[in-house]
Amino acid sequence: MKKILIIMLLCFCPSTFSESDLTETIASTIPTLYCPPIETLVKDTLTNTWYVGQKGREGSSEYKSDAQSFVSQIDHFVGVQWAGIEIGQIACVYAGVEADTFPVILYYNKLVMQPKGGLWGKDLGGHMNCKSSSRNDCPYQPRVRAPAKDIYEDALNIK
C-alpha cells in the first residue's frame, strides 16, 4: 500500500524541479578538459607508441596512441578531432620534430560531449575539427551520467 501511495504522489503532485533544472545543475559541474601538454607525453620505446604520464605507467594513462610512431620527439600541438553523434571520442594531434613522419594521435579513453566554443569548426557529418597551435583553443567536456536516484526515497522526503 505504501508503494502505491508513493507512486500516486509522484504521478499527481507537481514537481518543484524540472528536467532542465537538473540538466543545468549537472552541466555546471562538468569539468572542461584540454589535450595534454607536450611536456607530459612519453614514448614507449618498446611499442613505439605515445601516452601521457610517467615512463613505465602507460597502462593507467587516459590518453594513448594506438599506432606505432617514428616520431622521436613531439614538437608542437596541431589540433583536435572529435568523432561521434552528440557523444563521441577525442583525438589529440601532435607533430614531431621530423618533417617526414606522420603526426602522433592520442585518443582520450572516455566519451565526451559534442564540443562547443573555442575554435571548434562546424559538424562535418559525425566529426568536428579544432585546428590551433594552442591546446586551450580546443575545450571539451567528458560525458557525465546523472547520479542514480531512489524515487521511493525522494517521495518519502516530499513535505
Cell 583553443, residue located: 137
Percentage of the chain beyond pLDDT 70 is 79
Q: Are strands 112-113 and 87-96 parallel, antiparallel or unpaired?
A: antiparallel
The pLDDT assigned to 155 comes to 79
Mean pLDDT of the chain, nearest integer = 83
Domain ranges (residues) in the chain: 1-30+147-159, 32-143
Written as one letter, the residue type at 1 is M
Position 12 pLDDT exceeds 80 = no
Q: Tens of pLDDT along 55-93?
A: 766 667 899 999 999 999 999 999 999 999 999 999 999
Position 100 pLDDT exceeds 50 = yes
